[in-house]
Chain A
Amino acid sequence: MKQYRTHCLVCTGTGCVSNHAFDIKTALESEIIKQGLKDEVTVIATGCNGFCERGPVMVVQPENIFYQELKEKDIPFLVEEHFLKGRPVEKMMYVPPKEEAVIPKMSDIEFFKHQLLVVLRNRGRIDPEKIDEYIGYDGYRALGKALTEMKPEQIIEEVKTAGLRGRGGAGFPTGIKWGFCEQAEEDTKYLICNADEGDPGAFMDRSILEADPHAVLEGMVIGAKAIGAQEGFIYVRDEYPLALRRINIAIEQATEYGLLGENILGSGFNFKLNVVRGGGAFVCGEETALIASIEGEVGRPKPRPPYPAQKGLWGKPTNNNNVETWANVPQIILRGGGWFASLGTKESKGTKVFSLVGKVNNTGLVEVPMGTTLRTIVFDIGGGVLKGKKFKAVQSGGPSGGCVPESLIDLPVDFEKLTEAGAIMGSGGLIVMDEDTCMVDVAKYFVEFLEEESCGKCNPCREGLKRLKEVLTLITQGKGEAKHLEMLDDIALLMKEASLCALGATAPNPVLTTLKYFREEYEEHIFQRRCRAKVCKDLIMYRIIAEKCTGCQRCVKACPTEAITGPRSQPHNLEESKCIKCGACYEVCKFDAIAGDAIYIE
């Protein structure tokens, strides 16, 4: 293998690609040739680096210099300065919010400093489309160990020792689940990798498949050996084209290397892997619905028992795990269950990948040991709330989860603690909300999402969501009544008790947690007809504060309905009957330093 003095690791995850990372890569390559450095500097396209917010990003090794928000036109300068003259370019380095000094090294940046990478260990350092690079970082060593040195029960025992729990949401112990399937007496058994990620705010499964697809494959072959499966299916949601591409390439390469298919590594063990493309239905992330979908049916959940471990895909014992769960397996086998169990908290072991999104400065994927506090995640790694606004809540666990308020910001995040708070771990989406977010509106949002995605099979979920939506809509329209709060509680309880699958049973969670922690906002909507976040249009009114208005006419131009009138340099008039409350005037006025808050919402 050729040696280079400098490696440019250009992130080609979806976020950076949509900001033209491939153009950057091409520009770098041609500039390096142009400046005669092609034998010294190499460019590598890697999976998601995690810091999507600053994309396109690149890390230069061995110095560990982190460059962000790269532009094609700056590349010649960068190549000349850094690679030819040895002067890293400050202009393209990271500056923390509200500070001025740059932080050149990736390892010194707060976003990366608090993270511990197990599942994402290869992110940003290997080319996910090259199996050799995965192998170069201990890839497929765990598989070799599992196939040649371990019996199936030993593999399962190791996973049990590790205390690994399902990363898809429910947190069921993986080793125990494998044990059920292993004990099922059938010759044909199947394995499934659930990559039908759909929780709003979560995208770790997509990123893992994009950044390190071989880790998932390796985990699956090890799992197949443990339970005795001969065939596996990866069910990927259709909206993930890059993930689909990379997993297909990985399967092709692994098959070519004899790490998949017949007689793997000469051990006599056979395992075949297929990719199934989903049809765009959230409920297919539920395992019985997912199985129905692979069988070619519409994805409606089925009652359990029988559990898939006894009767799953085509009636055969089937074991289903989430992408992140599978990606943990090789590390557990390689480094031992004891090592994994030393990370995390008493009940929740290892690390968890979270997608940190919403009103936070540094959005992206973060991996931290279980038990890390929300404060560390949101404020240290995330760099706090956008535009210096006030933090209000973190939504965890998608539509089955809930909103955790500021009073619980020091909560150590693990399966138990989040459940106690009324939210759930879910797949790991953390949506940060600030003072401009209306919690009733958030609850309505999730209910609308679930109403859309409910399969409609059982009554409590189908009807319950419809009624929840009706009540929440009335409240946000200013037509709320005192009895509505009680109604929300009643419907929610009924859905929890009586729904067929987890989608329905957990659907009221966003309503219940917002009612629990933000009841005063509901009450303000109902009794005072007031929305403090100024989101619910029926409850707000725009007016111009005459003393502050300088008559700049920016709002006059911005108003789409000609509701604002008035000559230049004189306070403007806002005609309420014409106002559609679009907020356009408020936006333009806010940016005007002279006029200040001339337009005020109350």
Chain B
Amino acid sequence: MEFTKEEKQKVAHLRTRYPDARSLTLPLMWMIQKREGYVSNEAVDLITEELDIPKIWVDEVRSWYTMFSEEQEGKYVLEVCSNITCAIMGSQDIIDHICKTLKLKVGETTADGMFTLKTAECLGSCGTAPMMQVGDDYYEMLDEEKVNHILGDLGKGKKYEQQPQEWVEYK
């Protein structure tokens, strides 16, 4: 595994930003996760080599932060908020419904590799609970019918109705 030419430029830019190479661990890991969808062992090696820091520093960052995954996940990762506000507004029903519909358990990926179901801690969208996040999109005020629509549309490779916002890439 290697960094692309474009990524190398970004790395060079990031080096000017921080006085210390170790600070680049998270940004580089983001870069790889964005490209590969997860952070493999080879990716850990690559970052270790690039930054010339002990491997354990990189390894522990990968396992400690919840946003980095060590395994390939589904094309769409459904993160259903299970925190208190969503819970009292019925998130468990949403989770059960997704499990039933997709025939999986929390933490699992469907056989066709389309969906991974996860629960998340508060995603800061409590005014419109229950909610879930898929990639960069929030889906709020969920009920079973809405979930069916979302899963149906995503399964066909399109976003639920239209979600026209396209986030600028993180700099």
Contact = CB atoms under 8 A, between A and B. Distances in A.
Interface string B134-166: 001111110000000000000000000111110
A115 interface: no
A53 B84 CA distance: 18
Nearest to B20: A314
Q: Which of A15, A200, A248, A282 has the most CB of B within 10 A?
A: A200
Contacts of A277: 26-27, 30, 170
A22 B165 contact: yes
Given A18-B139, A203-B126, A245-B168, A446 B133 contact: no
Interface residues of B, number: 51
Nearest to B61: A298
A585 to B, nearest CB: 14
Nearest to B24: A296
Interface in A534-584: none
Interface residues of A, number: 68
A356 B128 contact: no
Interface string A235-257: 00111111011001100000000
Interface stretch (A34-42, A332-340, A357-365): A357-365
Interface in A1-60: 14-15, 17-20, 22-23, 26, 52-53, 55
Contacts of A205: 124
A20 B87 CA distance: 24
A282 B164 CA distance: 30
B83 A53 contact: no
Contact of A198 (B122, B165, B167): B122
Interface stretch (B4-12, B65-73, B104-112): B65-73
Contact of A201 (B27, B61, B68, B84): B84
A202 interface: yes
B127 A203 contact: yes
Contacts of B66: 279-281
Contacts, number: 170
A17 B60 contact: no
Interface in B88-134: 88-89, 120-129, 131, 133
Interface in B45-79: 57, 60-61, 64-68
Contact of B20 (A53, A280, A296): A296
A19 B126 contact: no
Contacts of A22: 162-165
A452 interface: yes
B94 to A, nearest CB: 14
Contacts of A234: none
A290 interface: no
Contacts of B137: 18
Contacts of B83: 200-201, 445, 449
Given A15-B127, A17-B138, A363-B128, A297 B22 contact: yes
A200 B123 CA distance: 8
Nearest to B162: A23
A600 B26 CA distance: 53
A436 B24 CA distance: 47
B168 A296 contact: no
Contacts of A286: none
Nearest to A429: B126
Contacts of A206: 124
B88 A431 contact: yes
B171 interface: yes
B23 A295 contact: yes
B1 to A, nearest CB: 20
Given A200-B85, A297-B22, A449-B83, A15 B125 contact: yes
A357 B131 CA distance: 13
Interface string A280-307: 1110000000000111111100000000
A476 B138 CA distance: 32
A318 to B, nearest CB: 13
A364 B26 CA distance: 33
Interface centre among B85, B127, B141 (most CB of A within 10 A): B127
Contacts of B64: 279, 281, 298-299
Given A198-B121, A248-B168, A314-B19, A298 B126 contact: no
A512 to B, nearest CB: 17
Interface string A205-244: 1100000000000000000000000000000011111101
A51 to B, nearest CB: 9
Contacts of A299: 64-65
Contact of B123 (A239, A357, A359): A239
Nearest to A50: B127
Contacts of B161: 20, 23
A379 to B, nearest CB: 17
Given A280-B65, A281-B64, A314-B20, A364 B85 contact: no
B122 A200 contact: yes
A299 B25 CA distance: 13
Nearest to A48: B127
B84 A296 contact: no
A199 interface: yes
Q: Sort A-B residue pairs by CB-CB distance and give the 6 closest, nearest first.
A: A279-B65, A280-B67, A203-B124, A357-B126, A296-B25, A52-B127
Interface of B: 17, 19-20, 22-27, 30, 57, 60-61, 64-68, 83-85, 87-89, 120-129, 131, 133, 136-141, 161-165, 167-168, 170-171
Given A18-B140, A53-B127, A237-B124, 11 more contacts: A14-B125, A15-B128, A17-B163, A198-B121, A238-B67, A248-B170, A248-B171, A249-B168, A295-B22, A296-B26, A433-B88
30 contacts: A15-B127, A18-B125, A19-B140, A23-B161, A197-B124, A200-B126, A201-B83, A205-B124, A206-B124, A239-B133, A242-B165, A244-B167, A249-B168, A274-B17, A275-B171, A279-B65, A279-B67, A280-B65, A281-B66, A293-B26, A296-B20, A296-B24, A297-B25, A298-B65, A299-B64, A299-B65, A356-B127, A358-B129, A431-B85, A446-B84
